[in-house]
Amino acid sequence: MTLECDSDDYRLILFDNEDWSSHFDCHVYSHKQGAWSLRKNRFFAGSSNLKFDMPVICNGVIHFISDCYSYLTEDSTYFRPYIMSYEITNGDDEDESVETKFLRVPKEARRGSHDDSCHMNIFKWGEAAGYQTICLVRLRKRVFMVWILTNYKSSSWRRIMKVRVKGMGLVEQNPVIKGFTVLNGDLVFATKKKIFFVHVELVPKVCVFIFN
């Protein structure tokens, strides 16, 4: 379940699957209307597991990225990580043409994506080229790479950062990255004892917060 808010309303978005298929019913609750509605078009998740616990809503579209595990044959469209997007329309005028869209992650991000050390997540980036967009962050072998989506139709991405954790001058030896996110243009990641903020455009400027 996902919560979406705007200036005068909030909505709950629930994807429901009872038959274990790759197609999900999409239910939307509007606080303003005080009722649930069922979307006409079902959401298609593809053949891999999507990270439903980490949705990204941008421009009225909800996005999910798949995991990096290798459990499909190499000739499958869904062998490498991918993103599925689904438009959540306003009001009752749902467009019959609305459907799930498949977005490829950058070719560079797909390389080595089945490595045990590889983790990928998507986040809301902010404005790029005059419109809101999402970003992709990949961590593999202690190297962070960040891309922003520049074109939905062609699944075009632009890499804006590549930095080795070792090159940040951290005091910790061989730090274990426990998690990462993007906040206000900063890459934020945590080790067992510290939180680091890295400004994407000012690498390697790093701010550190220490846990007691």
Tokens, residue 175: 């730090």
Dihedral of CA atoms 178, 5, 37, 101 in degrees, nearest 10, equals: -60
The beta-strand segments (E) located in the chain are 2-5, 10-16, 23-30, 35-38, 43-44, 56-58, 61-65, 82-87, 101-104, 119-128, 131-140, 143-151, 156-164, 179-183, 186-190, 194-199, 206-210
Distance CA 41, CA 100 (A): 8
Both tokens of residue 139? 């961590």
Would you call 200 helix, strand, or coil by DSSP? Answer: helix
pLDDT of residue 207: 47
Residue 196 C-beta-side C-alpha neighbours within 13 Å: 27
The Cα–Cα gap between 51 and 64 comes to 6
Mean pLDDT by 10 residues, the chain (212 residues): 64 85 89 87 92 91 92 84 86 61 94 92 83 92 93 90 86 86 91 86 47 39
- Enter the tokens of residue 7: 């200036």
Residues 108, 112, 113, 116, Cα dihedral to 10°: -150
Question: CA nearest 146: which of 166, 163, 170?
Answer: 163
pTM for the model stands at 0.85
